[in-house]
Chain A
């Protein structure tokens, strides 16, 4: 914006006068990290376009993208529902509901995702299938498992968000004659969303990354596609280079979106003042 000549003199004057301003120069606050990441991504993209081996890897891997995206949305959607129900359940006044919710959260959080996927897909679901009498595909098994796991994580987010709202809000709602449910819906939850949305966004990115674990069940998402490509062609470098690039594009794109959303929410809050 400014030419060198005009920025140079005020900077010097500031220094001469001592530390009178806490204003930081643009190069101190500039997101250099973003530039570096963008440069790397562009370099990777150029590699993929220009090099035949990388290009081959891309054409073999990217068909898995549909399943990656689909399972991400499905797992996140179901987890959102589970999280809301279990999160409210944890602070329910009903003793049984409260304790069952707590047991669910503690149990799921205490087991790593990979063994849990195996337990669900290879033990629980086959056992249930025998009784239900119809087959559940591996993609569905894995998606539901992911949803169950993230549902437990999100329950904690919902619980925390709800508990961050001062009890006076509930009291005001109840003293106006609103039922407990109406108060939760119209008074507490809308306010809790401010605290809930940013960590939920982080979990969305985490779900996306963890869909890679579905490859252990042979679900043909991008990680599994990469494994197949690399194993059959011995082009491990090319395969994993491409899949890393794909995940980076997805996750970084998402976190930029989330940043915009978060900034818009805080701006609304300032605007109210």
Chain B
């Protein structure tokens, strides 16, 4: 297979022929192609076990693809010579379970990577951390420990932690799925604002309201394959495939 360098110059994220197989028999992702432009917001939906999280985790190589190519901002991640740590610093990731560092305060959570990876000084990193905390609306929690925060607050800190690294891309892996219902909105609001500021975002979520409000494209995947891609409204109201229709019949009411 020839490496097509031409397409990667226009895309922020480029997935070509991506496949991921677990234990040689479970095909989580099959021959997946997706080009995501700079500033684009793409929402990935699909039934549980359809491989949407695996696709997302392949974008920063938390999951190593079995086959195919992943290019982010011109860096070919699947190339052995690429410095993964360098590229990962440019790709923010927000997890379903927040994954804040419980032994560190909110401020320390946000300054750790800034100082170790970006080489910023203490004062500079803290200033940036406070700026991001203001952005997600909880500057007063800087000295709290993650345990002392609600789920929604923890997730907002996780977003701030990623944003403090000035990422070019933000990945969200079901960011509201572990939250109590009353906290979903505060996290989605932060994400909506981020989208409106032009951040390139790939979001795996079941929040169709968010998809409608923010997504440039909706990607429906099932059994590791793209079934349908389109504008959110179009895919919701007029799905082209039976599998898509069946899925939305189950989740939309």
Contacts and interface: CB of A to CB of B under 8 A. Distances in A.
B145 to A, nearest CB: 5
A172 B103 contact: no
A176 B147 contact: no
> Among B89, B92, B116, which residue has the most Cβ atoms of chain A within 10 A?
B116
B192 interface: no
A177 B89 contact: yes
B177 to A, nearest CB: 14
A179 B148 contact: no
B99 A169 contact: yes
B248 interface: no
B227 interface: no
B180 interface: no
A176 B62 contact: no
Contact of B147 (A171, A174, A273): A273
Contacts of A191: 101-103
Nearest to A182: B116
Contact of B85 (A178, A186, A187): A178
B190 interface: no
Interface string B67-109: 0000000000000000001101111110101011111000000
Contact of A177 (B88, B145, B148): B88
B165 interface: yes
A186 B116 contact: yes
Given A174-B62, A273-B148, A179 B101 contact: no
Nearest to A171: B62
A272 B146 CA distance: 9
B60 interface: yes
Nearest to A273: B147
User: Interface on chain A toward B: helix, strand, loop, or mixed SS?
Assistant: helix
Given A169-B99, A171-B95, A182-B116, A176 B148 contact: no
B62 A175 contact: yes
A175 B93 contact: yes
Interface residues of A, number: 19
Interface in A15-46: none
Contacts of B147: 272-273
Interface string A110-134: 0000000000000000000000000
A272 B101 CA distance: 13
B229 interface: no
B99 A176 contact: no
A182 to B, nearest CB: 5
A194 B116 CA distance: 24
A179 to B, nearest CB: 5
A176 B97 contact: no
B161 interface: yes
B165 A177 contact: yes
Contacts of B102: 191, 272
Contacts of A63: none
B88 A175 contact: yes
A171 to B, nearest CB: 6
A259 interface: no
Contacts of A171: 62, 93, 95, 99
B161 A272 contact: no
Contacts of A199: none
Contacts of B116: 178, 182, 186
A169 B62 CA distance: 12
Contacts of A168: 95, 97, 99
A222 B145 CA distance: 48
Contacts of B97: 166, 168
B138 interface: no
Nearest to B101: A187
A77 interface: no
A218 interface: no
A181 to B, nearest CB: 10
18 contacts: A168-B99, A172-B99, A173-B101, A174-B88, A175-B62, A176-B88, A176-B112, A176-B117, A176-B161, A177-B88, A177-B165, A178-B85, A178-B113, A178-B116, A182-B117, A186-B112, A187-B101, A187-B112
Interface of B: 60, 62, 85-86, 88-93, 95, 97, 99-103, 112-113, 116-117, 145, 147-148, 158, 161-162, 165
List the 9 shortest-distance A-B pairs measured between CB atoms, nearest first: A177-B89, A176-B113, A172-B99, A175-B93, A177-B117, A168-B99, A177-B88, A272-B145, A272-B147
